[in-house]
Copies of this chain bind each other. A is one copy, B any other.
Amino acid sequence: MDGCPSGLEISEQKIQLELDRRRPGQSKITTQRKESDKVRILSGVFEGKTLGTPISLIVDNVDAISKSYEDIKDTYRPGHADFTYDAKYGRRDHRGGGRSSNRETVGRVAAGAIAKKILSLEGIATHGFVRQVGDIVAENVDFQEIENNIVRCPDKEKAAQMIELIDKVRKEGDSIGGTVEVVSTGLPAGLGNPVFNKMDADLAGALMSLGGIRGFEVGLGFKVSGMKGSESNDLMYKDANGNLRFKTNNAGGLLGGITNGEDLVVRIAIKPTSSISKTQHTVDKSGNPKELRVKGRHDPCLCPRAVPIAEAMVNLVLVDHLLQSKLARI
């Protein structure tokens, strides 16, 4: 991780807290693979504070059972990048998906923990949560509730229904999709850029770079397609403290790619896990038909573990813009 200012207090413990939220095996509705995901700081931190030079972190693999993958060496798993990696590179490491494995998000979450720390110094906090699983949609959003349930839903009642649904799907050997929403509070107006590196463009690029994401929204998102300008424009007013504010937040906190001081609100659509235990029909490298029942231990729903990952991506984009914003004026 390059570009972190010097003098920031950082510890392996703080980073570990976030990794533990992402870790496999944390509950009955996640994969049962056991990875301790212990992070070690190799460089860039000295006597508890960042040096300003690159921070190198390492997380060793423990529970990689390569032989689970041996019998699917030449078989293209549905929904996975096996075929496209072969198409691009002419070869691939079939053991666990390699770069296309969700495992690469360990690094994102670790880096995000450092970003989170910097943002906290300016009073910025980011809250990710599961908004939807299957056809169950959270209605009440209580940030305090999120980490109280294993699905990370801010609506206690809906959380229970989501957990039940995921568990049911898991028993069927299937998987289920959902959406994750991320809300950042305490942002100053003025973060982002015109045309190139708009805040929304950077957030979209960052979040769509995760595996299994099929859509990105800011504010009302696709709902604006059916609206009129007189309905969707957020109108301004001066509040009791003399601050210019917006009466609504349809825009999700951004205007012209720049924060407007309201909460930043983004949402991603996450596909059902591709690896399922149900029998699927596919082909091998030579096009021979194959029947596949994925034996690995996989998440029945990607959403709960996607929450800390999505938070990390948002925090990484925000911290970049926060730092750069110091250069906007002479």
Contact = CB atoms under 8 A, between A and B. Distances in A.
Most chain B CB inside 10 Å of its own CB: which residue of A2, A88, A201, A222: A88
A88 B221 contact: no
A135 to B, nearest CB: 5
A87 B98 CA distance: 40
A110 to B, nearest CB: 15
B83 A222 contact: no
Contact of A6 (B80, B205, B270, B330): B330
Contacts of A218: 208, 214-215
Interface string A197-221: 1101111111111010111111111
A260 interface: yes
A211 B269 contact: no
Interface string A45-70: 01101111110000000000000000
Copies of this chain, count:
4
A53 B98 contact: yes
A189 interface: yes
Nearest to A198: B209
Contacts of A178: 225
B214 A208 contact: no
Interface in A260-309: 260-261, 269-276, 278, 280-283, 287-289
Nearest to A206: B201
Contacts of A51: 89, 91-93, 98
A330 B215 contact: no
Contacts of A201: 204-206, 208-209
A17 interface: no
A224 B99 CA distance: 23
A89 B207 CA distance: 27
Interface stretch (A25-33, A152-160, A320-328): A320-328
A140 interface: no
Contacts of A133: 225
Contacts of A192: 84, 88
B329 A5 contact: yes
Interface of A: 2-3, 5-8, 43, 46-47, 49-54, 76, 78-81, 83-85, 87-93, 98-100, 104, 118, 121, 132-135, 169, 174-179, 188-192, 194-198, 200-209, 211, 213-238, 242, 244, 251-252, 254-261, 269-276, 278, 280-283, 287-289, 323-330
